[in-house]
Amino acid sequence: MAGVENLIIVPDGILYYLPFETLYDGARYLIEDFTIGYAPSASVFGNLQEAQAGYRGTFTRQLLAFGDPVFGGKQTPGVVQRSPSELVRSVYEQSGIRFAPLPNTRAEVENIGGLYAPAERKIYLGRDASETAVKHEKLSEYRSVHFATHAVIDEEIPGRSGVVLSLVDTGEEDGILRMREVFNLELNADFVVLSACRTGLGKLIKGEGMVGLTRAFMYAGTPRVAVSLWEVNDLATADFMKAFYRHMKAGESAGMALRAAKLSMIHSGARDYRHPYFWAPFVLVGLL
């Protein structure tokens, strides 16, 4: 492929679970030679290109980010809490699922937020990183929308998948931004980052590909979504995302910036970071 710089992969079946960046010839990874992106289908990619050709985004702010949500609260003895979020959490806990705190996601959001002037960013942390905040924000004003938290992925019924936000003081919401709710968002963002575990997965449907959160956010109005393919390490992810946004702020495209962040880990002085486990889970779906 002499002269080729960009690769768009349209995977099929189990290949959705493979980050092609990790293909290795004994000396170099594929990501060292190409900027790599993914698309659900050739027709979807063509539609995105056509829509982007006549699009001129107008953003008043650069970054909207949510991180370090509060997943649990102290319950008063003798008081039964029956808020939607308490009911949702109890269902997951009965299934053996716990939403452990993610303190490094606070550092992740603060680090990338620090790259922008206060007037260019808006950050929600802790209890403020709520489903209500997402739904009441003017999402169309932001160039990038970033979620650093847990995700719930249901590969049998993708509509149950969602981004987990603060599970305390949720009001009428249950604290999880479900796939069907994402469809109703009005995005104008250049890209959305789902910095959580396995956000790139969903249900494989013949002829449709992977149906999950990625598809929902693209339907809501963004041409590119950065998602993960496996359980990510939140400390390494904080470093990775800072490098990604630093390259974005320098004027690189999302695809080029994601590649640069991966190369920085591959050639890192920290030996562990060179392993694909740390840099390979995040892939870009949509336009480069």
196: in domain:
yes
Q: Is residue 48 part of a domain?
A: yes
Q: Could you tell me if 134 and 177 are in contact, meaning their C-beta atoms sit under 8 angstroms apart?
A: yes
Q: Which domain does 182 fall in, by range? A: 6-286
Identify whether 100 is part of a domain. yes
* Domain assignment of residue 194, yes or no: yes
Residue closest to 276 by CA, chosen among 228, 243, 242, 244: 228
- 19 SS3 class: coil
| Residue 169, in any domain of the structure | yes
According to DSSP H, which parts of the chain are helical?
42-53, 84-94, 103-113, 131-136, 179-183, 213-219, 234-249, 254-266, 276-279
Residue 90: phi, psi to the nearest 5? -65, -35
261 is a domain residue: yes
pLDDT of residue 129: 97
* DSSP SS3 for 48: helix
Q: Is residue 1 part of a domain?
A: no
**Count of domains observed in the chain:** 1
pLDDT of residue 79: 42
Predicted pLDDT at 197: 84
CA–CA gap between residue 286 and residue 18 (Å, rounded): 16
At position 203, the amino acid (one-letter code) is: K
This prediction's pTM: 0.91
- Residue 41, Cβ neighbours under 10 Å: how many? 13
Give the domain CATH number at 214. 3.40.50.1460
In tens digits, the chain (288 residues) has pLDDT values of 889 999 999 998 889 999 999 999 999 999 999 999 999 888 889 989 988 876 666 789 999 999 999 987 654 434 445 566 566 655 665 555 678 888 899 999 999 999 999 999 999 999 999 999 999 999 999 999 999 999 988 888 888 899 999 998 888 898 999 999 999 999 999 999 999 888 888 877 766 677 789 999 999 999 999 999 998 888 899 999 999 999 999 999 999 999 999 999 999 998 999 999 999 999 999 999
